[in-house]
Amino acid sequence: MSSSPASAILADLDTAKKAFENNEAGAREALIERSRALVAALEVPSEYIQRTFWAEPAQSAIIRMAVDVKLFQHLKDADDAGLGASALSTKTGVDVVLLQRLTRHLVAMHLLKYHNDAFHATPLSNGLAEEKYQHSLSFCYNAARPSFNGFPDFFKRAEYKSPTIGGTDGPFQDAHNTQLAFFEWLVATPPHLQHFDSFMSAYRAGKPNWYDPGFYPVAERMIAGFDGSVSDVLLVDVGGGRGHDVAAFAGQYSSHPGKVILQDRKPVIAAVVAGRQKLPFDAQAHDFFTPQPVQAARAYSLHSVLHDWGDEDGVRILENLAPALKREYSRVLLNEIVVSEEKPTLAATSMDMMMLAHFAVRERTEAEWRAMLAKAGLKVVNIYTYPGVAESLIEAELA
CATH number, position 320 = 3.40.50.150
The answer as to whether 98 is a domain residue is yes
Q: Does residue 384 carry a pLDDT above 50? A: yes
Total structural domains within the chain? 3
Contacts of 42 (CB under 8 A, 6+ apart): 6
Compute the residue count for the chain.
Answer: 399
The answer as to whether 72 is a domain residue is yes
The answer as to whether 345 is a domain residue is yes
> Are the beta carbons of 134 and 66 closer than 8 angstroms?
no
The answer as to whether 153 is a domain residue is yes
Active-site option among 176, 256, 307, 358: 307
Quote the pLDDT of residue 275: 66
The reply to whether 80 and 101 lie within a common domain is yes
Average pLDDT, the chain: 94
Tens digit of each residue's pLDDT (9 = 90 or more) over 48-68: 999 999 999 999 999 999 999
pTM for this one? 0.90
The answer as to whether 211 is a domain residue is no
**Strand-pair partners of 115:** 118
**Domain membership of residue 193 as a residue range:** 137-203
Q: What DSSP string runs through 314-366?
A: HHHHHHHHGGGPPTTT-EEEEEEEEE-SSS--HHHHHHHHHHHHHTS---EEH
The fraction of the chain above a pLDDT of 70, given in percent, is 99
The reply to whether 87 and 144 lie within a common domain is no
Query: How many C-beta atoms lie closer than 10 Å to residue 63's C-beta?
Result: 21
Q: Which helix (H) or strand (E) holds 283?
A: strand 282-285
Task: With cut-offs at 50, 70 and 90, classify the pLDDT of residue 167.
Answer: confident
Quote the pLDDT of residue 202: 86
List alpha helices for 150-218, DSSP H: 151-157, 171-176, 182-188, 192-203, 218
The SS3 call for residue 150 is coil
Task: With cut-offs at 50, 70 and 90, classify the pLDDT of residue 1.
Answer: very low
Tens digit of each residue's pLDDT (9 = 90 or more) over 114-149: 999 999 999 999 999 999 999 999 999 999 999 999
Tens digit of each residue's pLDDT (9 = 90 or more) over 273-316: 886 778 899 999 999 999 999 999 999 999 999 999 999 999 99
Which CATH number do you get for residue 65? 1.10.10.10
Tell me which of 203, 236, 253 is where a domain ends: 203
Q: Does residue 25 carry a pLDDT above 70? A: yes
Task: With cut-offs at 50, 70 and 90, classify the pLDDT of residue 41.
Answer: very high
Q: Does residue 334 carry a pLDDT above 80? A: yes
Quote the pLDDT of residue 3: 52
The reply to whether 273 and 350 lie within a common domain is yes
Q: How far does CA 56 lie from the centroid of its chain?
A: 21
The reply to whether 189 and 95 lie within a common domain is no
CA distance linking residue 165 with residue 21, whole number of Å: 45
The answer as to whether 82 is a domain residue is yes
Among this protein's residues, is 307 annotated catalytic? yes
The answer as to whether 209 is a domain residue is no
The reply to whether 366 and 346 lie within a common domain is yes
With both helix axes pointing from N to C terminus, report the angle between 4-21 and 27-42 in degrees, rounded to the nearest 10. 160
CA distance linking residue 384 with residue 335, whole number of Å: 9
The reply to whether 255 and 378 lie within a common domain is yes
Quote the pLDDT of residue 256: 94
The reply to whether 150 and 277 lie within a common domain is no
The reply to whether 259 and 276 lie within a common domain is yes
